[in-house]
């Protein structure tokens, strides 16, 4: 007599499970974003061949990918109540991180080997963020980076406002997301050494929202007449 071993039954992977898992990505992205700001190596040529640069930029690369997943989770959790405003914020904010990934990829894999042979290129590339433009013409890299900032600004504001209006996720980090994005241009007026610290509130907002996704706190997107695509300001929200 033979017996056949049965594989353990596993439940299906549902959209709710995927959204909850995206909360972990949002938490990780926010922690990295906030955590690396005070210890980020200076954005100058001598830094690109150091071990600190390799470690921090590797974390930034992972962070950009995590932001894409986490932002998708934030949107799909509240999609039916966030309306077109939420969709626009999701698309624009995600595009900013998608484009940013290309710049971080260059920081990580292109700049270090070029340091001995093309220091002028590195000076010009890092001049995008360090406030000391190099002499070398590097084409569309500079204006496209300006587009990244514009997408981050507009996408963050729209996503934060839509999240606040939808009333699905906690309102305080939703406000923090929008306000931090709104104040981003003001950071350019600060000395370069402390500009990065202005990004910490965005990291805190994403950690907070990610915890809400993972713990399922807040209202379900389908509650209280959701599905009409018309979020209303003033609905009860989770704190």
What average pLDDT does this structure show over 22-27? 97
In this prediction, residue 193 has a pLDDT band, given cuts at 50, 70 and 90, of low
> Among the residues of 37-78, which ranges form H helices?
51-77
Tell me the whole-structure pTM to 2 decimals.
Answer: 0.84
Residue bearing the bigger pLDDT, 239 or 108: 108
Residue 7 CA to its chain's centroid (Å)? 39
pLDDT reported for residue 135: 80
Could you tell me the maximum CA-CA distance found in the chain, to the nearest angstrom?
Answer: 82
């Amino acid at each position: 007599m033979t017996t056949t071993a049965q594989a353990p039954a596993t439940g299906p992977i549902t959209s709710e499970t995927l959204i909850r898992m995206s909360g972990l990505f949002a938490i990780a992205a926010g922690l990295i974003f906030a955590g690396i700001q005070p210890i980020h190596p200076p954005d100058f040529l001598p830094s690109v061949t150091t071990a600190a640069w390799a470690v921090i930029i590797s974390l930034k690369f992972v962070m950009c990918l995590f932001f894409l997943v986490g932002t998708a989770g934030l949107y799909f959790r509240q999609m039916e109540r966030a309306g077109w405003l939420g969709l626009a914020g999701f698309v624009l904010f995600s595009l900013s991180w998608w484009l940013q990934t290309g710049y971080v990829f260059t920081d990580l894999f292109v700049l270090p080997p070029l340091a001995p042979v093309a220091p002028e290129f590195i000076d010009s590339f890092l001049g995008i963020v360090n406030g000391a433009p190099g002499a070398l013409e590097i084409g569309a890299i500079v204006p496209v980076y300006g587009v990244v900032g514009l997408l981050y600004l507009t996408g963050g504001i729209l996503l934060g406002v839509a999240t606040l209006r939808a009333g699905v996720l906690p309102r305080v980090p939703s406000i923090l997301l929008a306000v931090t994005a709104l104040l981003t241009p003001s950071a350019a007026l600060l000395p370069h050494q402390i500009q990065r610290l202005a990004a910490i509130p965005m990291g805190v907002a994403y950690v907070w929202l990610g915890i809400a996704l993972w713990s399922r706190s807040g209202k379900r997107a389908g509650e209280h007449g959701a599905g009409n695509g018309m979020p209303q300001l003033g609905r009860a929200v989770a704190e």
